[in-house]
């Protein structure tokens, strides 16, 4: 594998174009997903869903995405990864637009299914390509893609708030995203060939024959998966339950409690905007260990907070600390093999963490308290801290082998 901290490699025009194309993909993925979840109250009202039905619908998306991302590693051995990514991102945005137009279950359910599957395929292939392009650049660039994804989520929330306040129907909001993003994705998507992964079209694969089955060991992927599950559990617990904790446990007004996930997201975005530079300056090992320690300090502040401001600071520290964990975990997965299978498998664990974080905090809080429930996030931050050294060692080992 290649050295992610070296700057000696020649950066070609194709590599720069692929980087821009990936920035647009990450933005489109974050905007589409964020827009749907921000306007879920409208979907609920349109179809008169109960809270339980809406919960099942929202849980179905990451479940379908998780299954889709698991099989994507095998698909890219037979279908060009850039082709699959371009098809999947267009399908994702088309499904989002159809959800906006849907006035019956006959249209909503198929669109919902397509979006779940397409989202998982985009998630897997864009991470494969981000890691692959970083290896070509021979320096850290992967966290920057996640900064764009985080920014897109914030843009989605603001746009959703504006369209809801203006009384615009869903089809206008989601349709506008389709009209703007799809032509841009199709135009720039041709450059994704410069970050191709998988055996499809490789020199070892003869035309007309199926590529050999790729065998990737699960054990190293599992250790990376534990880190990703832990990170996304903490993020999901912050997004789903952070405001509830600040409001119910610390008696903060709703206007203050609503800042819990906002502070988390803002700190994560700020961290990701500077992380690639910090990694190039100080190395992946120092950055990931310091960030893991900051995340742990943040969750401890949340659990032991005696005032709302302490919890808000804690959530912000957690977001800032976790900003590099997922990107570097995928970079570590990319050192296991160069086919994209390991990255796709690792990506599945993000959905496991997301689902567990959303599902477990509430019931455990009902049985004990919200503080006790958030101790799970503290424990998982400890897990990340201990396993961060292994991620850095894998990345640095690949550098030395280059």
Angstrom distances, CA of residue 320 to CA of 150, 290, 358: 12, 11, 20
Residue 3 predicted with pLDDT over 90? no
In degrees and rounded to multiples of 5, residue 250 shows phi and psi of -105, 5
pLDDT single digits (tens) 270-295 = 999 999 999 999 999 999 999 999 99
| Helix (H), strand (E) at residue 392 | helix 370-401
Mark out the alpha helices in 166-307 (DSSP H runs). Answer: 170-188, 218-244, 254-257, 259-282, 284-303
What confidence score (pLDDT) does residue 217 get? 84
With cut-offs at 50, 70 and 90, classify the pLDDT of residue 387: very high
| Token representation of residue 235 | 């993020």
- How many angstroms separate the first and last alpha carbons of the chain? 5
Give me the numbers of helices (H) and strands (E) for the chain, helices first please: 15, 0
Per-residue b/e over 374-389, b at no fewer than 16 CB within 10 Å?
bbbbbebbbbbbebbe
Do 202 and 211 contact (CB within 8 A), yes or no?
A: yes
Strands (E) across 303-380 are located at none
pLDDT single digits (tens) 145-172 = 999 999 999 999 899 999 999 999 999 9
CA–chain centroid gap for 47, Å, is 28
The Cβ of residue 394 has, within 10 Å, a number of other Cβ atoms equal to: 23
* pTM of structure: 0.90
Pick the more confident residue, 245 or 217: 245
Do 327 and 145 contact (CB within 8 A), yes or no?
A: yes
The Cβ of residue 364 has, within 10 Å, a number of other Cβ atoms equal to: 16
Residue 64 predicted with pLDDT over 90? yes
Q: What is the average per-residue pLDDT within 372-382? A: 97
Do 23 and 145 contact (CB within 8 A), yes or no?
A: yes
């Amino acid at each position: 594998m290649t050295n992610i901290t070296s700057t000696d490699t020649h950066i070609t025009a194709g590599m720069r174009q692929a980087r821009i194309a990936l920035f647009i993909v990450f933005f489109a993925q974050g905007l589409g997903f964020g827009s749907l979840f921000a306007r879920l109250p409208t979907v609920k009202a349109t179809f008169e869903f109960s809270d339980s039905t809406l919960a099942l619908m929202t849980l179905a998306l990451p479940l379908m995405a998780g299954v889709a991302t698991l099989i994507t590693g095998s698909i890219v051995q037979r279908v060009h990864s850039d082709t699959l990514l371009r098809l999947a991102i267009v399908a994702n945005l088309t499904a989002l637009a159809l959800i906006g137009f849907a006035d019956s279950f006959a249209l909503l359910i198929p669109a919902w299914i397509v979006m779940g599957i397409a989202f998982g395929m985009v998630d897997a292939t864009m991470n494969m390509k981000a890691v692959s392009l970083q290896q070509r650049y021979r320096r850290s660039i992967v966290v920057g893609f996640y900064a764009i994804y985080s920014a897109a989520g914030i843009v989605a929330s603001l746009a959703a708030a504006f369209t809801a306040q203006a009384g615009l129907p869903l089809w206008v909001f989601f349709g506008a995203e389709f009209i703007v993003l799809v032509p841009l994705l199709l135009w720039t998507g041709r450059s994704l060939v410069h970050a191709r992964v998988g055996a499809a079209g490789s020199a070892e694969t003869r035309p007309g024959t199926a590529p050999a089955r790729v065998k990737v060991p699960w054990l190293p992927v599992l250790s990376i998966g534990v880190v990703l599950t832990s990170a996304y559990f903490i993020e999901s617990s912050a997004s789903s339950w952070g405001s509830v904790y600040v409001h119910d446990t610390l008696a903060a007004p709703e206007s203050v409690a609503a800042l819990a996930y906002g502070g988390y997201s803002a700190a994560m975005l700020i961290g990701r905007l500077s992380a690639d530079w910090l990694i190039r300056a100080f190395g992946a090992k120092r950055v990931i260990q310091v960030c893991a320690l900051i995340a742990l300090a943040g969750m401890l502040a949340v659990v032991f907070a005696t005032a709302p401001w302490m919890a808000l600071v804690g959530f912000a520290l957690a977001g800032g600390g976790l900003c590099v964990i997922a990107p570097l975990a995928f970079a570590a997965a990319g050192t296991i093999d160069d086919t994209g299978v390991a990255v796709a498998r690792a990506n599945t664990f993000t959905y496991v963490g997301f689902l567990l974080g959303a599902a477990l905090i509430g019931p455990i809080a009902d049985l004990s308290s919200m503080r006790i429930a958030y101790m799970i996030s503290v424990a998982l931050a400890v897990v990340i801290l201990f396993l961060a050294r292994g991620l850095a060692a894998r990345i640095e080992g690949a550098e030395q082998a280059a």
